[in-house]
Chain A
Protein backbone atom coordinates (compact mmCIF):
# COMPACT_ATOMS: atom_id res chain seq x y z
CA UNK A 1 0.00 0.00 0.00
CA UNK A 2 1.21 3.46 -0.88
CA UNK A 3 0.43 6.40 1.40
CA UNK A 4 0.55 10.10 0.58
CA UNK A 5 0.88 12.51 3.50
CA UNK A 6 0.42 16.23 2.82
CA UNK A 7 2.16 18.45 5.38
CA UNK A 8 2.16 22.18 6.10
CA UNK A 9 4.81 24.50 7.48
CA UNK A 10 3.26 26.68 10.18
CA UNK A 11 4.26 28.94 13.05
CA UNK A 12 5.33 26.66 15.89
CA UNK A 13 2.53 25.85 18.32
CA UNK A 14 4.52 27.24 21.25
CA UNK A 15 4.72 30.73 19.75
CA UNK A 16 2.27 33.30 21.03
CA UNK A 17 1.17 34.74 17.71
CA UNK A 18 0.86 38.52 17.48
CA UNK A 19 -1.03 40.60 14.96
CA UNK A 20 1.19 43.05 13.04
CA UNK A 21 0.64 46.68 13.83
CA UNK A 22 -0.46 47.42 10.27
CA UNK A 23 -3.22 44.82 10.60
CA UNK A 24 -2.05 43.12 7.42
CA UNK A 25 -1.17 39.80 9.00
CA UNK A 26 0.60 38.27 11.94
CA UNK A 27 4.22 38.75 12.97
CA UNK A 28 6.39 36.14 11.24
CA UNK A 29 9.82 37.79 11.30
CA UNK A 30 12.19 35.69 13.40
CA UNK A 31 9.37 33.40 14.45
CA UNK A 32 10.02 29.66 14.78
CA UNK A 33 8.37 27.57 12.06
CA UNK A 34 7.57 23.87 12.39
CA UNK A 35 5.54 21.09 10.87
CA UNK A 36 1.85 21.44 11.71
CA UNK A 37 1.44 19.17 14.78
CA UNK A 38 -1.49 17.27 13.27
CA UNK A 39 0.60 16.57 10.17
CA UNK A 40 3.35 15.08 12.34
CA UNK A 41 0.71 12.71 13.67
CA UNK A 42 -0.32 11.89 10.08
CA UNK A 43 3.30 11.13 9.12
CA UNK A 44 3.71 8.99 12.23
CA UNK A 45 0.59 6.98 11.42
CA UNK A 46 1.89 6.27 7.92
CA UNK A 47 5.20 5.11 9.39
CA UNK A 48 3.43 2.82 11.83
CA UNK A 49 1.38 1.29 9.02
CA UNK A 50 4.65 0.61 7.22
CA UNK A 51 6.19 -0.90 10.35
CA UNK A 52 3.17 -3.22 10.60
CA UNK A 53 3.90 -4.34 7.05
CA UNK A 54 0.76 -2.72 5.67
CA UNK A 55 2.29 0.23 3.85
CA UNK A 56 5.31 0.10 1.59
CA UNK A 57 5.89 3.52 0.15
CA UNK A 58 5.34 6.84 1.97
CA UNK A 59 5.40 10.06 -0.03
CA UNK A 60 5.15 13.41 1.74
CA UNK A 61 4.09 16.55 -0.07
CA UNK A 62 3.99 20.20 0.92
CA UNK A 63 2.51 23.14 -0.91
CA UNK A 64 3.97 26.52 -0.09
CA UNK A 65 7.07 28.67 0.05
CA UNK A 66 10.53 27.21 -0.77
CA UNK A 67 11.33 26.90 2.97
CA UNK A 68 8.65 24.21 3.19
CA UNK A 69 11.44 21.97 1.89
CA UNK A 70 12.83 22.02 5.46
CA UNK A 71 9.53 20.70 6.76
CA UNK A 72 9.60 17.95 4.14
CA UNK A 73 13.16 17.06 5.25
CA UNK A 74 11.83 16.66 8.79
CA UNK A 75 9.23 14.19 7.53
CA UNK A 76 11.93 12.35 5.56
CA UNK A 77 14.04 12.21 8.72
CA UNK A 78 11.08 10.72 10.58
CA UNK A 79 11.10 7.99 7.94
CA UNK A 80 9.12 9.00 4.84
CA UNK A 81 10.64 7.71 1.59
CA UNK A 82 10.24 10.59 -0.80
CA UNK A 83 9.07 14.19 -0.88
CA UNK A 84 7.39 16.55 -3.30
CA UNK A 85 7.40 20.32 -2.87
CA UNK A 86 4.83 22.26 -4.83
CA UNK A 87 6.08 25.83 -4.67
CA UNK A 88 3.74 28.76 -4.43
CA UNK A 89 4.25 32.31 -3.20
CA UNK A 90 2.00 31.94 -0.22
CA UNK A 91 -0.03 29.20 1.29
CA UNK A 92 -3.09 28.65 -0.93
CA UNK A 93 -6.62 28.14 0.44
CA UNK A 94 -7.78 24.59 1.24
CA UNK A 95 -9.82 24.37 -1.99
CA UNK A 96 -6.76 25.16 -4.13
CA UNK A 97 -4.59 22.87 -2.00
CA UNK A 98 -7.12 20.07 -2.49
CA UNK A 99 -7.06 20.64 -6.25
CA UNK A 100 -3.26 20.44 -6.32
CA UNK A 101 -3.34 17.31 -4.16
CA UNK A 102 -5.89 15.77 -6.50
CA UNK A 103 -3.43 16.12 -9.38
CA UNK A 104 -0.68 14.55 -7.28
CA UNK A 105 -2.98 11.72 -6.24
CA UNK A 106 -3.75 11.02 -9.89
CA UNK A 107 -0.04 10.96 -10.62
CA UNK A 108 1.12 8.98 -7.58
CA UNK A 109 -1.86 6.64 -7.20
CA UNK A 110 -1.76 6.23 -3.41
CA UNK A 111 -4.22 3.89 -1.70
CA UNK A 112 -4.51 6.18 1.27
CA UNK A 113 -4.00 9.87 1.96
CA UNK A 114 -3.52 10.79 5.62
CA UNK A 115 -3.71 14.49 6.48
CA UNK A 116 -3.73 16.42 9.75
CA UNK A 117 -7.29 17.35 10.67
CA UNK A 118 -6.49 21.05 10.73
CA UNK A 119 -3.57 23.43 10.35
CA UNK A 120 -2.95 25.43 13.51
CA UNK A 121 -2.38 28.66 11.59
CA UNK A 122 -5.62 29.21 9.66
CA UNK A 123 -7.53 26.57 11.70
CA UNK A 124 -9.59 25.74 8.58
CA UNK A 125 -10.11 22.00 9.15
CA UNK A 126 -11.13 21.54 5.51
CA UNK A 127 -8.43 20.23 3.18
CA UNK A 128 -8.96 16.50 3.80
CA UNK A 129 -12.72 16.72 3.41
CA UNK A 130 -12.36 18.82 0.25
CA UNK A 131 -9.85 16.42 -1.30
CA UNK A 132 -12.16 13.49 -0.48
CA UNK A 133 -15.01 15.29 -2.23
CA UNK A 134 -12.96 16.12 -5.33
CA UNK A 135 -11.72 12.52 -5.62
CA UNK A 136 -15.08 10.97 -4.70
CA UNK A 137 -13.27 8.94 -2.04
CA UNK A 138 -14.65 8.00 1.38
CA UNK A 139 -13.41 10.04 4.33
CA UNK A 140 -12.79 9.39 8.01
CA UNK A 141 -11.96 12.68 9.71
CA UNK A 142 -10.71 13.29 13.29
CA UNK A 143 -9.26 9.77 13.48
CA UNK A 144 -8.09 8.33 16.79
CA UNK A 145 -7.39 4.78 15.55
CA UNK A 146 -6.71 3.34 12.09
CA UNK A 147 -6.65 -0.37 11.31
CA UNK A 148 -6.38 -2.30 8.10
CA UNK A 149 -9.22 -4.82 7.91
CA UNK A 150 -9.69 -7.00 4.85
CA UNK A 151 -9.58 -4.82 1.76
CA UNK A 152 -10.38 -1.64 3.64
CA UNK A 153 -9.83 0.37 6.78
CA UNK A 154 -11.59 0.54 10.11
CA UNK A 155 -11.24 3.97 11.65
CA UNK A 156 -12.37 5.34 15.01
CA UNK A 157 -13.19 9.03 15.00
CA UNK A 158 -13.57 11.57 17.77
CA UNK A 159 -17.04 13.10 17.58
CA UNK A 160 -19.01 15.44 19.84
CA UNK A 161 -20.61 12.77 22.00
CA UNK A 162 -17.66 10.39 22.26
CA UNK A 163 -16.30 8.32 19.42
CA UNK A 164 -17.58 6.31 16.49
CA UNK A 165 -16.12 3.67 14.21
CA UNK A 166 -16.44 3.57 10.43
CA UNK A 167 -15.34 1.11 7.81
CA UNK A 168 -14.04 2.46 4.51
CA UNK A 169 -13.09 0.94 1.22
CA UNK A 170 -9.74 1.96 -0.26
CA UNK A 171 -8.65 4.31 -1.65
CA UNK A 172 -9.62 6.62 1.21
CA UNK A 173 -8.88 9.85 3.06
CA UNK A 174 -8.11 9.90 6.78
CA UNK A 175 -7.53 13.04 8.83
CA UNK A 176 -5.57 12.69 12.06
CA UNK A 177 -6.70 13.91 15.46
CA UNK A 178 -4.45 14.46 18.48
CA UNK A 179 -4.88 11.07 20.07
CA UNK A 180 -4.10 8.94 17.01
CA UNK A 181 -0.49 8.50 18.12
CA UNK A 182 2.52 10.28 19.56
CA UNK A 183 4.91 11.25 16.77
CA UNK A 184 8.54 10.18 17.03
CA UNK A 185 11.49 12.51 16.97
CA UNK A 186 13.92 12.17 14.11
CA UNK A 187 17.29 10.81 15.28
CA UNK A 188 20.51 12.50 14.20
CA UNK A 189 21.57 9.66 11.87
CA UNK A 190 18.13 9.75 10.27
CA UNK A 191 18.37 13.51 9.82
CA UNK A 192 21.66 12.93 7.98
CA UNK A 193 20.14 10.15 5.87
CA UNK A 194 17.14 12.33 5.02
CA UNK A 195 19.43 14.76 3.21
CA UNK A 196 19.99 12.12 0.55
CA UNK A 197 16.37 11.13 0.09
CA UNK A 198 14.68 12.37 -3.10
CA UNK A 199 12.86 15.72 -2.96
CA UNK A 200 11.17 16.77 -6.18
CA UNK A 201 10.18 20.40 -6.71
CA UNK A 202 7.22 21.47 -8.84
CA UNK A 203 5.56 24.82 -9.17
CA UNK A 204 1.88 25.31 -8.46
CA UNK A 205 1.57 27.37 -11.64
CA UNK A 206 2.86 24.45 -13.76
CA UNK A 207 0.07 22.27 -12.47
CA UNK A 208 -2.46 24.61 -14.02
CA UNK A 209 -4.42 25.26 -10.83
CA UNK A 210 -5.89 28.73 -10.33
CA UNK A 211 -4.68 29.87 -6.90
CA UNK A 212 -6.80 33.03 -6.78
CA UNK A 213 -8.21 33.34 -3.30
CA UNK A 214 -11.94 33.09 -2.91
CA UNK A 215 -11.72 34.66 0.54
CA UNK A 216 -10.21 38.14 0.55
CA UNK A 217 -8.79 39.27 3.86
CA UNK A 218 -10.16 42.70 4.72
CA UNK A 219 -8.46 43.00 8.09
CA UNK A 220 -6.78 41.02 10.83
CA UNK A 221 -7.24 42.16 14.40
CA UNK A 222 -6.34 41.12 17.91
CA UNK A 223 -9.26 39.65 19.80
CA UNK A 224 -10.57 41.78 22.66
CA UNK A 225 -8.38 41.18 25.70
CA UNK A 226 -9.89 40.28 29.02
CA UNK A 227 -9.54 42.74 31.85
CA UNK A 228 -7.05 41.49 34.42
CA UNK A 229 -8.88 39.99 37.37
CA UNK A 230 -8.00 39.67 41.00
CA UNK A 231 -6.65 36.99 43.28
CA UNK A 232 -8.91 36.12 46.15
CA UNK A 233 -7.52 35.02 49.48
CA UNK A 234 -9.96 32.30 50.46
CA UNK A 235 -12.78 30.05 49.36
CA UNK A 236 -15.21 32.19 51.36
CA UNK A 237 -14.10 35.30 49.49
CA UNK A 238 -14.45 33.50 46.16
CA UNK A 239 -18.01 32.43 46.93
CA UNK A 240 -18.86 35.94 48.09
CA UNK A 241 -17.52 37.45 44.85
CA UNK A 242 -19.29 34.94 42.64
CA UNK A 243 -22.58 35.56 44.44
CA UNK A 244 -22.56 39.30 44.96
CA UNK A 245 -20.13 40.79 42.46
CA UNK A 246 -20.25 38.52 39.40
CA UNK A 247 -23.72 37.23 40.26
CA UNK A 248 -23.16 33.96 38.41
CA UNK A 249 -24.14 31.54 41.19
Chain B
Protein backbone atom coordinates (compact mmCIF):
# COMPACT_ATOMS: atom_id res chain seq x y z
CA UNK B 1 0.00 0.00 0.00
CA UNK B 2 1.09 3.54 -0.64
CA UNK B 3 0.15 6.72 1.17
CA UNK B 4 0.49 10.31 0.07
CA UNK B 5 1.08 12.81 2.87
CA UNK B 6 0.20 16.44 2.22
CA UNK B 7 2.77 18.52 4.12
CA UNK B 8 2.31 21.98 5.61
CA UNK B 9 5.33 23.77 4.19
CA UNK B 10 5.99 26.93 6.17
CA UNK B 11 8.51 29.29 4.60
CA UNK B 12 10.55 26.42 3.31
CA UNK B 13 10.56 24.34 6.50
CA UNK B 14 8.52 21.23 7.30
CA UNK B 15 6.87 21.57 10.73
CA UNK B 16 6.80 18.87 13.35
CA UNK B 17 3.06 18.36 12.84
CA UNK B 18 3.69 17.18 9.29
CA UNK B 19 6.42 14.85 10.49
CA UNK B 20 3.92 13.30 12.91
CA UNK B 21 1.57 12.75 9.97
CA UNK B 22 4.40 11.00 8.11
CA UNK B 23 5.01 8.79 11.16
CA UNK B 24 1.34 7.81 11.11
CA UNK B 25 1.31 7.16 7.36
CA UNK B 26 4.42 5.01 7.62
CA UNK B 27 2.30 2.43 9.46
CA UNK B 28 0.18 2.06 6.34
CA UNK B 29 2.91 1.32 3.80
CA UNK B 30 5.20 3.29 1.49
CA UNK B 31 5.04 7.04 1.91
CA UNK B 32 5.27 9.77 -0.72
CA UNK B 33 5.02 13.36 0.43
CA UNK B 34 3.44 16.27 -1.37
CA UNK B 35 4.98 19.70 -0.91
CA UNK B 36 3.14 22.70 -2.25
CA UNK B 37 3.95 26.38 -2.12
CA UNK B 38 4.68 29.60 -3.91
CA UNK B 39 7.61 29.80 -6.33
CA UNK B 40 9.85 31.52 -3.75
CA UNK B 41 9.66 28.88 -1.06
CA UNK B 42 9.08 25.65 -2.92
CA UNK B 43 12.71 24.67 -3.46
CA UNK B 44 13.69 25.10 0.15
CA UNK B 45 10.58 23.21 1.27
CA UNK B 46 11.24 20.34 -1.13
CA UNK B 47 14.85 20.14 0.04
CA UNK B 48 13.73 20.00 3.69
CA UNK B 49 11.20 17.29 2.86
CA UNK B 50 13.79 15.22 0.99
CA UNK B 51 15.90 15.05 4.15
CA UNK B 52 13.16 13.34 6.12
CA UNK B 53 14.12 9.65 6.40
CA UNK B 54 11.91 6.83 5.14
CA UNK B 55 10.18 8.64 2.30
CA UNK B 56 9.89 7.05 -1.14
CA UNK B 57 9.70 10.33 -3.02
CA UNK B 58 8.90 14.00 -2.63
CA UNK B 59 6.41 15.41 -5.10
CA UNK B 60 6.32 19.18 -5.44
CA UNK B 61 3.85 21.59 -6.91
CA UNK B 62 4.46 25.30 -7.03
CA UNK B 63 2.50 28.24 -8.31
CA UNK B 64 0.76 31.35 -7.10
CA UNK B 65 -2.33 29.22 -6.54
CA UNK B 66 -0.43 27.20 -3.96
CA UNK B 67 1.33 30.03 -2.15
CA UNK B 68 -1.35 30.28 0.54
CA UNK B 69 -2.61 26.71 0.76
CA UNK B 70 -6.15 27.53 -0.37
CA UNK B 71 -8.54 24.60 -0.26
CA UNK B 72 -9.72 24.73 -3.86
CA UNK B 73 -6.41 24.15 -5.70
CA UNK B 74 -5.17 21.76 -2.99
CA UNK B 75 -8.28 19.60 -3.19
CA UNK B 76 -8.15 19.54 -7.00
CA UNK B 77 -4.51 18.48 -6.81
CA UNK B 78 -5.21 15.69 -4.31
CA UNK B 79 -8.02 14.41 -6.51
CA UNK B 80 -5.68 14.34 -9.52
CA UNK B 81 -3.04 12.35 -7.59
CA UNK B 82 -5.50 10.09 -5.77
CA UNK B 83 -5.54 7.21 -8.31
CA UNK B 84 -1.94 6.41 -7.37
CA UNK B 85 -2.61 6.02 -3.65
CA UNK B 86 -4.55 3.95 -1.13
CA UNK B 87 -4.39 6.55 1.63
CA UNK B 88 -4.17 10.32 1.54
CA UNK B 89 -3.02 11.76 4.83
CA UNK B 90 -2.44 15.20 6.36
CA UNK B 91 -1.83 16.54 9.83
CA UNK B 92 -5.04 17.81 11.46
CA UNK B 93 -3.82 21.39 11.15
CA UNK B 94 -5.76 24.33 9.75
CA UNK B 95 -4.55 23.38 6.25
CA UNK B 96 -5.33 19.67 6.52
CA UNK B 97 -8.75 20.25 8.12
CA UNK B 98 -9.60 22.73 5.39
CA UNK B 99 -8.48 20.82 2.31
CA UNK B 100 -8.90 17.09 2.98
CA UNK B 101 -12.67 16.99 3.52
CA UNK B 102 -13.14 18.93 0.28
CA UNK B 103 -10.96 16.46 -1.62
CA UNK B 104 -12.78 13.55 0.03
CA UNK B 105 -16.17 14.82 -1.13
CA UNK B 106 -14.86 15.11 -4.69
CA UNK B 107 -13.68 11.49 -4.44
CA UNK B 108 -16.96 10.35 -2.87
CA UNK B 109 -15.11 9.29 0.28
CA UNK B 110 -16.00 9.97 3.91
CA UNK B 111 -12.97 11.73 5.42
CA UNK B 112 -11.72 10.40 8.79
CA UNK B 113 -10.56 13.35 10.90
CA UNK B 114 -8.24 13.43 13.93
CA UNK B 115 -6.98 9.86 13.75
CA UNK B 116 -5.15 9.03 16.97
CA UNK B 117 -4.45 5.36 16.37
CA UNK B 118 -4.10 3.21 13.26
CA UNK B 119 -5.19 -0.39 13.85
CA UNK B 120 -4.80 -1.53 10.26
CA UNK B 121 -5.20 -0.13 6.75
CA UNK B 122 -8.92 0.45 7.23
CA UNK B 123 -9.44 0.59 11.00
CA UNK B 124 -8.82 3.78 12.93
CA UNK B 125 -9.43 5.27 16.38
CA UNK B 126 -10.55 8.87 16.77
CA UNK B 127 -11.94 11.01 19.58
CA UNK B 128 -15.56 12.20 19.68
CA UNK B 129 -17.43 14.38 22.19
CA UNK B 130 -14.36 16.49 22.95
CA UNK B 131 -12.36 13.37 23.64
CA UNK B 132 -14.82 11.97 26.19
CA UNK B 133 -15.19 8.89 24.00
CA UNK B 134 -12.92 7.13 21.56
CA UNK B 135 -14.50 5.44 18.57
CA UNK B 136 -12.89 2.61 16.63
CA UNK B 137 -14.21 2.61 13.10
CA UNK B 138 -13.69 0.78 9.88
CA UNK B 139 -13.88 2.54 6.54
CA UNK B 140 -15.50 0.78 3.61
CA UNK B 141 -14.29 3.40 1.13
CA UNK B 142 -11.88 2.15 -1.53
CA UNK B 143 -9.56 5.02 -0.70
CA UNK B 144 -9.06 6.51 2.73
CA UNK B 145 -8.51 10.17 3.51
CA UNK B 146 -7.32 10.87 7.04
CA UNK B 147 -6.17 13.77 9.13
CA UNK B 148 -3.84 12.89 11.98
CA UNK B 149 -4.04 14.06 15.57
CA UNK B 150 -0.39 14.97 15.72
CA UNK B 151 -0.08 14.80 19.51
CA UNK B 152 -0.74 11.04 19.22
CA UNK B 153 2.21 10.20 16.94
CA UNK B 154 5.89 10.87 17.66
CA UNK B 155 7.27 12.73 14.64
CA UNK B 156 9.82 11.13 12.32
CA UNK B 157 13.21 12.88 12.39
CA UNK B 158 13.77 15.97 10.25
CA UNK B 159 17.11 14.79 8.89
CA UNK B 160 18.80 11.65 7.66
CA UNK B 161 17.08 10.88 4.34
CA UNK B 162 17.76 11.60 0.69
CA UNK B 163 14.46 11.10 -1.11
CA UNK B 164 14.23 11.96 -4.81
CA UNK B 165 12.25 15.06 -5.75
CA UNK B 166 9.74 15.05 -8.59
CA UNK B 167 7.82 18.04 -9.93
CA UNK B 168 4.12 17.60 -10.57
CA UNK B 169 2.03 19.71 -12.93
CA UNK B 170 -1.17 20.65 -11.13
CA UNK B 171 -4.57 20.29 -12.77
CA UNK B 172 -6.21 23.46 -14.02
CA UNK B 173 -8.24 25.07 -11.22
CA UNK B 174 -10.07 28.36 -11.50
CA UNK B 175 -10.15 29.34 -7.87
CA UNK B 176 -13.09 31.40 -6.69
CA UNK B 177 -11.35 32.33 -3.46
CA UNK B 178 -8.28 34.50 -3.20
CA UNK B 179 -5.76 35.29 -0.53
CA UNK B 180 -5.87 38.88 0.72
CA UNK B 181 -3.63 39.09 3.77
CA UNK B 182 -2.30 37.25 6.78
CA UNK B 183 -1.86 38.47 10.33
CA UNK B 184 0.55 36.06 11.88
CA UNK B 185 1.31 36.45 15.53
CA UNK B 186 5.07 36.36 15.77
CA UNK B 187 6.79 34.68 18.66
CA UNK B 188 10.31 33.57 19.48
CA UNK B 189 8.90 30.79 21.59
CA UNK B 190 8.50 27.16 20.50
CA UNK B 191 5.29 26.27 18.65
CA UNK B 192 2.55 24.94 20.90
CA UNK B 193 2.35 21.61 19.06
CA UNK B 194 6.10 21.08 19.28
CA UNK B 195 6.80 22.40 22.77
CA UNK B 196 8.13 20.13 25.53
CA UNK B 197 6.72 22.48 28.16
CA UNK B 198 3.63 24.71 27.94
CA UNK B 199 2.61 27.44 30.37
CA UNK B 200 -1.06 28.19 29.82
CA UNK B 201 -3.32 30.89 31.19
CA UNK B 202 -7.04 31.45 31.56
CA UNK B 203 -9.53 33.98 32.82
CA UNK B 204 -7.66 34.07 36.12
CA UNK B 205 -4.97 36.21 34.46
CA UNK B 206 -7.59 39.01 34.30
CA UNK B 207 -6.15 41.10 31.44
CA UNK B 208 -3.59 41.22 28.64
CA UNK B 209 -1.33 43.01 31.12
CA UNK B 210 -1.95 40.34 33.76
CA UNK B 211 -1.23 37.59 31.24
CA UNK B 212 2.34 38.86 30.85
CA UNK B 213 3.14 37.44 34.27
CA UNK B 214 3.45 34.06 32.52
CA UNK B 215 6.24 35.23 30.22
CA UNK B 216 9.20 35.15 32.65
CA UNK B 217 8.09 31.67 33.73
CA UNK B 218 7.87 30.50 30.12
CA UNK B 219 11.27 32.08 29.40
CA UNK B 220 12.87 30.20 32.27
CA UNK B 221 11.40 26.90 31.15
CA UNK B 222 11.88 27.43 27.40
CA UNK B 223 8.13 26.89 27.20
CA UNK B 224 5.42 27.78 24.71
CA UNK B 225 2.48 29.82 25.95
CA UNK B 226 -1.08 28.57 25.61
CA UNK B 227 -4.46 29.87 26.70
CA UNK B 228 -8.05 28.97 27.40
CA UNK B 229 -10.84 30.16 25.15
CA UNK B 230 -11.85 32.82 27.66
CA UNK B 231 -8.33 34.26 27.66
CA UNK B 232 -8.46 34.48 23.86
CA UNK B 233 -12.04 35.78 23.67
CA UNK B 234 -11.18 38.45 26.23
CA UNK B 235 -8.28 39.59 24.07
CA UNK B 236 -5.47 38.67 26.49
CA UNK B 237 -3.67 36.75 23.71
CA UNK B 238 -4.15 35.98 19.98
CA UNK B 239 -6.45 33.19 18.78
CA UNK B 240 -3.67 30.78 17.87
CA UNK B 241 -2.81 30.38 21.57
CA UNK B 242 -6.06 28.53 22.25
CA UNK B 243 -5.78 24.98 23.53
CA UNK B 244 -8.82 22.74 23.48
CA UNK B 245 -11.54 20.96 21.57
CA UNK B 246 -11.62 23.76 19.03
CA UNK B 247 -8.09 25.02 19.47
CA UNK B 248 -4.81 23.17 19.48
CA UNK B 249 -4.40 19.65 20.78
CA UNK B 250 -1.17 19.33 22.69
CA UNK B 251 0.63 16.65 24.68
CA UNK B 252 3.80 18.17 26.12
CA UNK B 253 5.92 16.63 28.89
CA UNK B 254 4.72 19.38 31.22
CA UNK B 255 1.57 21.54 31.05
CA UNK B 256 1.19 24.26 33.66
CA UNK B 257 -2.40 25.55 33.79
CA UNK B 258 -2.70 28.90 35.56
CA UNK B 259 -6.10 30.35 36.35
CA UNK B 260 -7.85 27.81 34.12
CA UNK B 261 -10.90 26.05 35.57
CA UNK B 262 -10.62 22.88 33.49
CA UNK B 263 -13.78 22.89 31.33
CA UNK B 264 -14.33 19.73 29.25
CA UNK B 265 -13.49 21.70 26.11
CA UNK B 266 -10.16 22.82 27.50
CA UNK B 267 -9.25 19.38 28.87
CA UNK B 268 -9.89 17.96 25.39
CA UNK B 269 -6.81 19.80 24.20
CA UNK B 270 -4.31 18.98 26.94
CA UNK B 271 -5.28 15.96 29.01
CA UNK B 272 -2.79 13.73 27.22
CA UNK B 273 0.08 15.82 28.56
CA UNK B 274 2.57 13.69 30.49
CA UNK B 275 2.57 15.85 33.62
CA UNK B 276 -0.07 18.46 34.44
CA UNK B 277 0.35 21.19 37.03
CA UNK B 278 -2.63 23.30 38.06
CA UNK B 279 -2.42 26.62 39.83
CA UNK B 280 -5.85 27.83 40.86
CA UNK B 281 -7.31 29.66 43.83
CA UNK B 282 -10.43 27.48 43.85
CA UNK B 283 -9.62 24.11 45.33
CA UNK B 284 -12.78 22.66 43.79
CA UNK B 285 -11.77 23.60 40.22
CA UNK B 286 -12.15 20.59 37.89
CA UNK B 287 -8.61 21.12 36.57
CA UNK B 288 -7.37 19.52 39.81
CA UNK B 289 -9.05 16.25 38.81
CA UNK B 290 -6.57 15.83 35.97
CA UNK B 291 -3.56 17.54 37.54
CA UNK B 292 -0.63 15.50 38.82
CA UNK B 293 0.40 18.40 41.02
CA UNK B 294 -2.05 21.01 42.19
CA UNK B 295 -1.24 24.21 44.02
CA UNK B 296 -4.16 26.11 45.52
CA UNK B 297 -3.66 29.84 45.77
CA UNK B 298 -3.39 33.18 44.05
CA UNK B 299 -1.50 32.82 40.79
CA UNK B 300 -0.30 36.41 41.02
CA UNK B 301 1.78 35.30 44.00
CA UNK B 302 2.53 31.73 42.96
CA UNK B 303 3.69 32.33 39.39
CA UNK B 304 6.40 34.89 40.28
CA UNK B 305 7.48 32.73 43.21
CA UNK B 306 7.73 29.71 40.93
CA UNK B 307 9.73 31.68 38.36
CA UNK B 308 12.03 32.80 41.14
CA UNK B 309 12.38 29.30 42.59
CA UNK B 310 13.51 27.90 39.24
CA UNK B 311 16.66 29.97 39.71
Q: Judging by beta carbons under 8 Å apart, are B101 and A94 in contact?
A: yes
**Chain B: interface secondary structure?**
mixed
Q: Judging by beta carbons under 8 Å apart, are B135 and A219 in contact?
A: yes
State how many angstroms separate the Cβ of B30 from the closest Cβ of chain A: 24
Q: Which of B93-149 contact A (CB under 8 A)?
A: 93-95, 97-106, 108-114, 123, 127-141
Tell me if B34 counts as interface (CB < 8 A to partner A): no
Query: Using Cβ atoms and an 8 Å threshold, which residues of chain B touch A93?
Result: 110
Q: Which of B16-74 contact A (CB under 8 A)?
A: 68, 70-72
Shortest Cβ distance from B97 into A: residue: A125
| Cross-chain contact of B292 among A121, A129, A221, A230 (Cβ < 8 A) | A230
Query: Using Cβ atoms and an 8 Å threshold, which residues of chain B touch A172?
Result: 176-177
A130 to B137, CA, bound (A): 20
Q: Judging by beta carbons under 8 Å apart, are B295 and A238 in contact?
A: yes
A139 to B105, CA, bound (A): 13
A201 to B296, CA, bound (A): 54
| CB within 8 Å: A-B pair count | 260
Q: What 1/0 flags go to A15-49 for Cβ under 8 Å of B?
A: 01111000000100000000000000000000000
Tell me if A188 counts as interface (CB < 8 A to partner B): no
Q: Judging by beta carbons under 8 Å apart, are A217 and B136 in contact?
A: yes
| Cross-chain contact of A218 among B109, B113, B138 (Cβ < 8 A) | B138
Q: Judging by beta carbons under 8 Å apart, are B239 and A158 in contact?
A: yes
Tell me if A144 counts as interface (CB < 8 A to partner B): yes
Q: Judging by beta carbons under 8 Å apart, are A166 and B180 in contact?
A: yes
Query: Using Cβ atoms and an 8 Å threshold, which residues of chain A touch B305?
Result: 235
State how many angstroms separate the Cβ of A12 from the closest Cβ of chain B: 11
Q: Judging by beta carbons under 8 Å apart, are A235 and B128 in contact?
A: no
Q: Judging by beta carbons under 8 Å apart, are A162 and B277 in contact?
A: no
Given known contacts A139-B72, A229-B293, A249-B197, is B137 in contact with A126 (CB within 8 Å)? no
Interface size range of chain B in the complex? 35 or more
Tell me if A165 counts as interface (CB < 8 A to partner B): yes
Q: Judging by beta carbons under 8 Å apart, are B240 and A160 in contact?
A: yes
Q: Judging by beta carbons under 8 Å apart, are A179 and B132 in contact?
A: no
State how many angstroms separate the Cβ of A117 from the closest Cβ of chain B: 8
A120 to B244, CA, bound (A): 12
Q: Judging by beta carbons under 8 Å apart, are A178 and B233 in contact?
A: yes
| Cross-chain contact of A214 among B141, B182, B309 (Cβ < 8 A) | B141
State how many angstroms separate the Cβ of A28 from the closest Cβ of chain B: 11
Query: Using Cβ atoms and an 8 Å threshold, which residues of chain A touch B248?
Result: 160
Q: What 1/0 flags go to B202-242 for Cβ under 8 Å of A?
A: 00000000000000000001000000010011000011100
| Cross-chain contact of A235 among B130, B179, B185, B306 (Cβ < 8 A) | B306
Of all A-B residue pairs in the complex, the 5 with the closest CB atoms, nearest first, are A133-B105, A130-B105, A129-B101, A138-B177, A138-B176
What are 16 A-B pairs at a CB distance below 8 A? A19-B132, A95-B111, A124-B111, A125-B97, A125-B113, A130-B111, A132-B71, A139-B72, A166-B70, A214-B141, A217-B137, A221-B136, A223-B133, A232-B295, A235-B305, A239-B306
